[in-house]
Chains A and B, each alone.
Chain A
């Protein structure tokens, strides 16, 4: 870097001529390593995936054959709607249930309980431990022969005989949703608690003086203030759950009898169990299309909130 060049404010966008790079070029240079990595490991694979959907290609073998829309029609005439429905059931369940729990907890901690700071830290534990550990733990809890859940439910007389929670279509999805709920309600709690703490206390005091009950205060004072955080939390969690893989894969592998199959597990299975790269990426393309809509909505909302300055 030339030392003879006169100094200039780094923060100002001002093009310069001569020995030095303009600020714009310097800024782009800074992004170059990141962009190169980005192009190589995210953009290129995803773009190539979109093309692969039109070919018949084995994961293990080189070479492929153009088959047009065959891979897409395979899904659309077959399991697409079932997978979409199950993905939505999982996504909605694993978004709404932890939201309600997290919100209730945030409201409780926001009333100024003794030790709420400590409790907040303690409650984060389920969210902190690795996802695979969460799956193992609940797999053990749901275990049909020795599981503690069956033990407690039989002790209290709620059920008469052991239930194979993960082994039958009727309960497997519920079990998966409960597991994911356990792992994600703490995150929602933290976000919503942060939102609640921005609500001016005077508003509550005033509403209370005017005779507003708890429900009224929630609707008129609390909700309008946290609505922004709540919508972002819900949307992000929805997007994440829409492509969630780990919990479902470890707990049920998409089974029993495909009852917990989602886009993530179906794409994985058709690529790495069926070795059918064309079919896997075709389903992935349909899935991406749906996700893009969600991501566009998310960007819209964060944009409006001035998050992406």
Chain B
């Protein structure tokens, strides 16, 4: 997908050619049309930009505000005083550091498990034709749409009967319920782009099917596997409901950890919470920067092409 294609109305060259072919009135009309669409486009960008960016601005401002400034009413839209105290306070909070470590561990294991399992499954869906394949694919696709809150209720009883509550295992397995289907679909798409002829050539050269998959296909699909892994990591990192319910303070991850730390019964420490929120977002934003290409491609590939 190209991002900066210019439409014919905005370039000058098509205009000129139009002008030489047709009369002046058409040229005037098209120029007026162009001006109008420019104005409309910029107004939309500005209005939606304000809606989209103002909250992000406010997140930053609050995170950098000393407490007394944050609790002023009406709030100062342009801060007069800036402090990094809210960030340094985070580093001193041992419980938050524990949540952070838990998040890292659980999201990483989730990503690795999802990608390994999904690589085999996606490869099978992409390169083989067999009975029941379509039903399995539909099952995987549909499972992304099962209500998580209901799944959670029964996973809780299952984990409880196996004594797995408050373990990393419970969190990893429950995160896998939504990361694995996603990875299967992403990786199937990646394998679809690898030509069958390559596999046939490998087979003619005497490579077994396992060897073909592990030494020829997997290296080619590696960028896609990394992208799928990052996706799974981000989804695991962001999960709230499973981590909130299946683990206690010892094993909980950051999102529910932030709720129990900051959303108090009486007064919430908003500047610190905003600073913590920024810190939680960092890995996601960084992963996203690496992912952007795959992300837009992956999201749109299936649904745009028909």
Contacts and interface: CB of A to CB of B under 8 A. Distances in A.
A218 B304 CA distance: 18
Contact of B237 (A117, A130, A155, A265): A130
B220 interface: no
Contact of A111 (B38, B124, B259, B280): B38
Contacts of B270: 140, 143, 146
Given A109-B45, A131-B240, A268-B152, A125 B147 contact: no
- Classify the secondary structure of A's interface with B: helix
Nearest to B146: A46
Interface size class of A (residues with CB under 8 A): 35 or more
Nearest to B73: A146
B256 to A, nearest CB: 8
A45 B152 CA distance: 9
Contacts of A287: 147, 150
* Minimum-distance CB pairs A-B, first 10: A27-B128, A284-B150, A117-B3, A45-B154, A151-B74, A194-B300, A30-B124, A11-B196, A34-B121, A112-B6
B123 interface: yes
Nearest to A246: B240
Interface of A: 1, 3, 7-13, 23-24, 26-28, 30-31, 33-35, 37-38, 40-42, 44-46, 48-49, 52, 59, 101, 104-105, 107-113, 116-117, 119-126, 128-133, 136-138, 140-141, 143, 145-148, 150-152, 154-155, 182, 185-187, 190-191, 194-195, 197-198, 201-202, 204-205, 208-209, 211, 213-214, 228-229, 232-233, 239-240, 243, 245-246, 249-250, 263-265, 267-268, 271-272, 277, 280-281, 284, 287-288, 291, 294-295, 298-299, 302, 305-309
A308 B177 CA distance: 20
A111 B41 contact: yes
Contacts of B74: 150-152, 154-155
B109 interface: no
Interface string B10-45: 110010001000100010011001001110111011
Interface size class of B (residues with CB under 8 A): 35 or more
Contacts of B78: none
B249 interface: no
Nearest to A290: B147
- Classify the secondary structure of B's interface with A: helix
B66 to A, nearest CB: 14
Contacts of B73: 145-146, 150-151
A38 B241 contact: no
A263 B120 contact: no
A132 B42 contact: no
Interface in B145-169: 145-158
Nearest to A228: B306
A2 B104 CA distance: 41
Nearest to B238: A130
Contact of A10 (B14, B127, B134, B303): B127
A264 B127 contact: no
A40 B7 CA distance: 51
Nearest to A155: B74
